[in-house]
Amino acid sequence: MPGEVSIDHEFISPQNNKFVLHDSKGFEPGEKDNLKIVRDFINYRRAKPDLKDQLHAVWLCFEIPRANGRLLETGVEQFLTSKREGELGDIPIVAVFTKYDTLLDRVERTLDKSSIKGLSQAAIQDIIKKNAEDKLQEVCVAPLEKFAKSAVPHVTVSTNGNHEGTLARLIQTTEELVRNHVGTDASVMTSVAQRVDPRLKIRASIEVGKRKYWKALASSVPFKNRSMWDCLHVLHTDIVNVWNFQDPHGYLCSPEFRTLMTNMVNELDVGPPTDPNKTLSFGLTIVGTIATIVSALSGPAAPIVVPIAASVVIASWVYELYEQTRPALQRFMKYIIDLTLVLQTLVLVAGNQELSRKAIKLAAKSYHESPMNGEVHNRIQEYDRQLTLRQRANRDSLDQIIELLQPYNTSAEEMSDLRGKLPVVDLSSDEPWDS
């Protein structure tokens, strides 16, 4: 409530402890002390030695004003002046124009009905959005830029209705600013904390992987005296942590899910050899999983069956020490890519819901049976077939993982569109792994 908040209080959602919010009282007229409080807080946090205690970005929020409303109060102008004059350092600031849905509603109510007579609903929506953008430029962007004297990044958002894409743009803008002004470590944590944009998750997975594993995989030294299973165990845990699902039961790090992923990877060893003359399709995206998800949900409400029985190869991986060999490199590459794409599919299936085993099994089954899985197998085998032993020993050779992942990145906007094509299904009713 107004007047009750302290900027020092940390708001942390019970469902996502990676994101920490500090809420100021704003700059309401007559609140002369608030500007000093905010300035002091920013500078105090800026001087903290540990990244976890620093402030990474500021969202300066404005409700889109109604007719004749004023965007910038005096306190906001003074705050922007402090930023412009360098008193707040390089802390990224994003102007956030809120309640975009109400702006669209107002524009729609004031439309000249005769001007849209005979138009399709899609054409009418385009006109509404165009008029809303013009109004936004007039009442928000222009006053902000006029006063700030420099480009201030701005994003228009709404949490009501079908406006998930606006939240994705806010996260994307924030992550980019944090990466450019605070550093890669902070931008990785921004990507980990958010649960809107899968592309940022994949970017964070890549950044963590490059630092910890990928370039080291071509040399067995960092994994000396470690079994394949131990190496995959650590790798699996780190990738799952990056995706930051609401998983209070720890299903994604359970022995059953690890076994499921290992069985999927093992198919690379026993599958048919790659046809060197085959032209690979580099444009396949997660759209290919839609058919398999719909197929899995179209029949009676039967349990989802996935291969989680421990196979002979898992038993051997438990005792097999990691060495620089073609099969070992292939396994690691396939595990990294398969796990990443299964988790991306899980975003499509479960969204921000608390995870159930049923949802995880559906995501794994859908990816496993989609054309994407077979193409990933083929591309890894083709890549490995073309390398000489000397190239495999090159520490940079495994950057190919990035190239293998790129065609399958799915944006938040695409994810929202894809989710709209899925039938409604209750994933909260759980089921055993082995059903």
> Digits of tens for pLDDT over the chain (435 positions)?
656 678 899 999 888 999 999 998 777 766 667 888 888 999 999 889 998 888 999 999 988 888 777 778 778 888 888 888 888 888 899 999 999 999 999 988 888 888 888 888 888 888 999 999 999 988 888 888 888 777 689 999 998 877 878 998 999 999 999 999 888 889 999 999 999 898 899 889 888 887 776 666 656 666 677 777 888 888 899 999 999 999 999 999 999 999 889 888 877 554 444 443 443 333 334 445 555 666 655 555 567 777 777 666 666 777 777 666 666 777 788 888 899 999 998 988 888 889 999 899 988 988 888 878 878 877 777 776 666 544 554 545 566 777 778 777 777 777 777 777 776 667 777 888 886
Who contacts 413 (Cβ-Cβ below 8 Å, separation ≥6)? 164, 165, 168
Q: Are the C-beta atoms of 433 and 258 separated by less than 8 Å?
A: no
Query: Residue 212 and residue 200: Cα distance in Å, rounded?
Result: 18
Query: Residue 268 and residue 266: Cα distance in Å, rounded?
Result: 5
Sequence ranges of the domains in the chain: 11-193, 205-419
- If we measure between CA atoms, which residue out of 246, 304, 252, 272 comes closest to residue 378? 272
